[in-house]
Amino acid sequence: MDQRAFLEHFERGVERMHAGFARWEPVEPDPSTRADPDQVERVLTELTERLKVDYPYFHPRYAGQMLKPPHPVAMLAYALTMFVNPNNHALDGGRATSEMEKEIIPQLAAMFGYPEETHLGHLTASGTIANLEALWIARCLHPDKAIAVSDQAHYTHARAGDLLRTEIKTIKSDADGKIDLDHLAELLASGEIGTVVATAGTTGLGAVDPIHEIRRMTAEAGVRLHVDAAYGGFFALLARATNPPIAPEPWLAIAESDSVVVDPHKHGLQPYGCGAVLFRDAAVGRFYQHDSPYTYFTSDELHLGEISLECSRAGAAAAAFWATLKCFPLEPERGFGQILGRTRQAAQKWAALLKCHPRFRLTVEPELDIVSFFALPAGDSEPAASAISALTRKVFHAAERDPEEPVYLATLKVDREKLEGRYPEIRWDQPVVEVLRSVLMKPEHADWVPRIQAAIERQLN
């Protein structure tokens, strides 16, 4: 959607909004809220100038962090809803948008294979809050048990453990960055674990834990399983495609997990912040019960604030996601499935190009759309880890400073254990090696990968 079409849609939307409230007499803004037009122009001019120092997160040249532009449909729906500015806490604070949120959650539950009638869930401000809620429920159910998380899991779990005053046990990971099942078996045998956290798309390597194996082990041990799919969750759609471009077993096993988190503001084409938490068994809603005599008086129906830790929550976020799902359904072969297929294709394309180059090496084979790699110093048959790291930093900085075709990536520090078996020629003069990391979240990346590769090669040479 180009800028002209965006503005036309927005203008028509504003007209419809005004028409919907036409029965109310116009209200002139209070003089105290009137801003000087010239000052507004100066402020907005300064704002646009200051924003220019940001990286072009919206452009395919940017493949650094997990930053994906929201779809114009989501931006339009969000902006239009802000004219009302609903709060999806109590139903009377967000009458329309609360219903929209209640329509969204069953769609997310179906994407993960949760039972239609027994799940419970809601949107959150972020994956951090969503994971905190899931681990809070885990602590409520097993107050004297620890929570086990991978050493590759997001750091939010350790912080949540501190907040909840719950012990966090660390599970070792294997060379691919996935949970080491032997170490997990040892921890489960101790009887000290109440919940295991598996990750569907780690933020570093993009690894997908063997959720199907972990589910079998936790079920045998009588332990809960929580899946942090904040980053990779929407790839569950591809697992149900006719010819899945990803290994389907871990994703299909999410249906048997006790809770799952996903971030629509990552692969869901939404503005920040929009996360979501879902529970397979709605009975956990009893832990949310609280009394708010001035809030829940308008209806006997379930108010979303009664099943969330957050109070004020942006109804505009629900409206934006609802509108996006109307245009792009959660289906394997079209809508979001088609979009995710393109980002996966981009990662496969770039991995193939890197493997064809004599000096580039993949850190691990990409499972989703995160590609991490490093370059070998020229003419060095036994490169030192420090030399590889120095070259990584050199290429990283040179690529984003290229005056003709800049490319913006990120870097990642990888432990020796992840690479020494795969690349025995590396001389380990330090315990970690710094590699380049890219997140190909935009479907346009599938067409841009050759240009990105060429730009990186120029910096290498």
Percent of the chain with pLDDT over 70: 97
State the pLDDT at residue 290. 59
User: Does residue 91 surpass a pLDDT of 90?
Assistant: no
Whole-structure pTM value: 0.93
State the pLDDT at residue 296. 44
User: Does residue 344 surpass a pLDDT of 50?
Assistant: yes
Instruction: Delimit the CATH 3.40.640.10 region(s) of the chain.
Output: 91-327
pLDDT band at 252 (very low <50, low <70, confident <90, very high): very high
State the pLDDT at residue 125. 94
User: Does residue 172 surpass a pLDDT of 90?
Assistant: yes
pLDDT band at 299 (very low <50, low <70, confident <90, very high): very low
User: Does residue 286 surpass a pLDDT of 60?
Assistant: yes
State the pLDDT at residue 455. 95
Mean pLDDT value across the chain:
93
State the pLDDT at residue 27. 84
User: Does residue 292 surpass a pLDDT of 70?
Assistant: no
Candidates 3.40.50.1980, 3.40.640.10, 3.20.20.70, 3.40.50.720; CATH matching 91-327: 3.40.640.10
pLDDT band at 298 (very low <50, low <70, confident <90, very high): very low
Percent of the chain with pLDDT over 90: 82
Taking domain 336-460, whether its CATH number is 3.90.1150.170 is answered by yes
Do the Cβ atoms of 127 and 156 come closer than 8 Å?
Answer: yes
Instruction: Delimit the CATH 3.90.1150.170 region(s) of the chain.
Output: 336-460
User: Does residue 10 surpass a pLDDT of 90?
Assistant: no
State the pLDDT at residue 294. 42
26-35, 43-52, 194-203: the lowest-pLDDT one: 26-35
